[in-house]
A and B are shown apart, each in its own frame.
Chain A
Amino acid sequence: MATFQFEGVDEYYAQLKRLYESSEAVCGEAVYNGAKTVMKYVSAAVDGIVTDERHGTPDNKAIGPNSYQKEGLIRSLGITPARYDGSFYNVKIGFDGYNKLETKTWPQGQPNSLVARAVQSGTSWMQKQPFMRKAEQEAKLPCEKVMAETVDKAIQKIMK
């Protein structure tokens, strides 16, 4: 009776098994590396926010936040570790804590996330500077490239 022999199947199976077992770690690393790339663009966009020391009004809008508020955004910009919720990996880039501008409403300083929202969307007394949208648009392709490279590199290593 004729016999067919396939060699290397066990080794290939082992490689696929290693790939399957490593997939969560590889995806997490890819998402985090992508987020780090986005972070660079967001950081540059925050640096580019135009400040205005005037107190704006609806009839004479300020161009942007004051220098204390911008300083708060620069200092508080951060990135979280990658978290897997069972379906997706999530990394958040944002602003936390408070700035040094103590006001009647915010005696401990204004929340940086509140200032970021006001700068991004504008208010009735301050012009908008959609810095996050700009960063998001510019970072999209570089982020996808870094994520793909991370995954490709990890797969090559596992499948050696």
Chain B
Amino acid sequence: MSLTKAEQLPDALSGITGLKLYHLFKPATIKAPYAVWQEDSEGQSFYASNRKQEQVLILTLDYFTQTEYDTVADSIQTALDEAQLAWKLESFQYEAETKLLHYEWVIQVI
């Protein structure tokens, strides 16, 4: 029951041209657009015979951009679909101070 199953997410997004993707923190020199993914918690795991049989991990993915209707956001969703990961767009926010558009997805991996 390895936690490295979380790497299904960066693997799924690896084919998106130009996407700067980081785990947990972005380097200080990197400016938007960029994406950061991280492990969040455990989802509805599967139990049988008095033990956990399959652990479900919840991950989050945050994409920050200054481009309105950024097509990379669409590419991310397409890539998640193609990798057959369960996902939803959790929130979309605009940061007035930084002028950044913030897309947040919640993804579950098995």
Q: Mark A57-83, 1 if CB is under 8 A from B, else 0.
A: 011110000000000000000000000
B residues 47-71 near A (Cβ < 8 Å) are 58, 60, 62, 64
> Which of A58, A133, A134 has the most B CB atoms < 10 Å from its CB?
A58
For residue B104, which residues in chain A have a CB less than 8 angstroms away from its CB?
Answer: 121-122
Is there contact, CB below 8 Å, between A130 and B40?
A: yes
**Distance to closest chain B CB from A127 (angstroms):** 9
Query: Number of B residues whose C-beta is below 8 Å from A?
Result: 21
Q: Mark A29-73, 1 if CB is under 8 A from B, else 0.
A: 000000000000000000000000000001111000000000000
The answer to the question of B96 belonging to the interface, with a C-beta cut-off of 8 Å to chain A, is yes
Stretch at the interface among B1-9, B13-21, B87-95: B87-95
Q: Which partner residue on chain B sits nearest A58 by CB separation? A: B98
Chain B interfacial positions (CB closer than 8 Å to A): 25-26, 28, 32, 40-41, 58, 60, 62, 64, 90-91, 93, 95-98, 100, 102, 104, 106
